């Protein structure tokens, strides 16, 4: 009986040691979010463009509603983690053309920068472009989106005439 208890303790110690070693290896393999994929000014401009054009459907907290998919958090990252920022720019440009009319490439890229920022990607000095093909999962930390504060008067975009919202038929 004493031998059985000793063996059980040895097996337990070996199993615990193996689990700790595997956990340490997995933690070492995790990469922190890569800094510098977009400039902070781009994300700030993207926030204004997003609030002027996207909040009606995707909400100010980027959680989405009804058929408007979330643009931050676990569901967004589950879908976009292995895709690139260029894929994101193309998809948003197609979506904008269908839903709100065409907005410029520069505005789309700033929205992508804002969404990266909202998903925990740190800003840097490099300017994001529509052709930047950076994996979104490598850029974001997966942190929850931060709460958006209302724009100041200086940050608001000037209104460009009446907007017509086109609804996609499904």
Give residues with Cβ within 8 angstroms of 33, minimum separation 6.
120, 121, 122, 138, 139, 140, 141
Quote the domain boundaries for residue 43: 32-170
Q: What CATH number is given to the structural domain containing 89? A: 1.10.760
Q: What is the pLDDT of residues 49-105, one digit of tens each?
A: 999 999 999 999 999 988 889 999 999 999 999 999 999 999 988 988 888 777 899
Q: What pLDDT, on a 0 to 100 scale, did the predictor assign at position 155?
A: 55
Give the chain's domain count.
Answer: 2
Same domain, 7 and 56: no
Same domain, 24 and 51: no
What is the pTM (predicted TM-score) of this model?
Answer: 0.66
Q: What is the pLDDT of residues 97-136, one digit of tens each?
A: 888 777 899 999 999 999 999 999 999 999 999 998 999 9
Per the model's pLDDT, the better-predicted residue between 13 and 9 turns out to be 9
Same domain, 58 and 119: yes
DSSP-derived secondary structure for 68-88:
B--SSSHHHHHHHTTSBHHHH
């Amino acid at each position: 009986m004493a031998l059985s208890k000793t063996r059980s303790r040895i097996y337990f110690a070996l199993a615990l040691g193996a689990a700790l070693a595997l956990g340490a290896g997995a933690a070492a393999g995790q990469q922190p979010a890569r800094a510098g994929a977009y400039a902070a000014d781009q994300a700030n401009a993207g926030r204004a463009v997003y609030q002027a054009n996207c909040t009606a459907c995707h909400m100010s907290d980027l959680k989405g509603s009804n058929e408007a998919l979330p643009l931050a958090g676990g569901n967004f990252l589950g879908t976009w983690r292995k895709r690139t920022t260029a894929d994101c720019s193309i998809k948003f440009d197609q979506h904008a053309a269908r839903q709100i009319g065409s907005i410029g490439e520069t505005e789309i890229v700033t929205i992508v920068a804002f969404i990266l920022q909202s998903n925990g990607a740190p800003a840097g000095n490099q300017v994001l472009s529509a052709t930047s093909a950076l994996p979104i999962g490598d850029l974001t930390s997966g942190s929850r989106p931060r709460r958006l504060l209302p724009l100041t008067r200086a940050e608001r975009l000037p209104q460009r005439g009446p907007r017509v919202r086109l609804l996609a038929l499904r």
